[in-house]
Amino acid sequence: MRISIPVKFLAVSALTLAITGALAGAGLWISESLGGRLARSANETTALKNHLIAGMMHDALRGDVLAALDAVARGDEEAKNAVRADLAEHSAVFLESIAANQALPLSEAVLTPLAKVEGPLKDHVATATSVINNVFATGVRDEAALTQFRELSASSRPKRARFPMRSRRPCRKPRSRVRAKRRLRRA
């Protein structure tokens, strides 16, 4: 049985069409998969940005407490008003950053650690506000409240991540520096 040229041509055309369709389908699937991953990456980057802003406001609240102590020690009413304004602004930005992260569609791997620190962070704002209001009301440095604030501040501070990237060979000092140190020791 001989297959005619037009039949061979149709078979090759059908095979080419099937391969082209499969490649197009694979391309669309990869494109959709990449688009989802890019969207997730963008959300996680936004969450990281919000978390960094919250970290800066964490430090700003500590600064507000110290500024309040300084303003009371100096008896400066203008500085007290500035501290109140700064406290309101820093607290608002701090809480907005936390709320912005909660509104993002994040994975459980990201949401779980954020949920663990949410309570202590909100307590940090409340304690800073309480310490500042107490210092302004009494005009006296309240050591117990300040100690509580310091402990809460230290416990709510995010720990720095340690990256496992290490150089394969230890970093060496240039020989000229080593020689210079030897010369100094001899002298």
Residue 150 pLDDT: 76
- Position 15: which residue type? L
Q: Which two tokens stand for residue 35?
A: 């688009």
**How many structural domains compose the chain?**
1
Q: Which domain holds residue 101?
A: 45-157
Taking residues 175-181, what's their average pLDDT? 66
Q: Is position 26 within any domain?
A: no
pLDDT band for position 139 (cuts 50, 70, 90): confident
Q: Write down the mean pLDDT value for the chain.
A: 81
Q: Is position 62 within any domain?
A: yes
Q: Is position 61 within any domain?
A: yes
Q: Is position 91 within any domain?
A: yes
pTM (2 d.p.)? 0.64
Residue 178 pLDDT: 66
Distance CA(102)–CA(115), nearest Å, equals: 9
Q: Is position 106 within any domain?
A: yes
Q: Is position 9 within any domain?
A: no
Q: Is position 150 within any domain?
A: yes
Q: Is position 162 within any domain?
A: no
- Backbone φ, ψ for residue 140 (5° rounding): -125, 145
Residue 91 pLDDT: 93
> Buried b / exposed e across 67-101, counting CB within 10 Å, b at 16+?
bbbebbeeeeeebbeebbebbeebbeebeebbebb
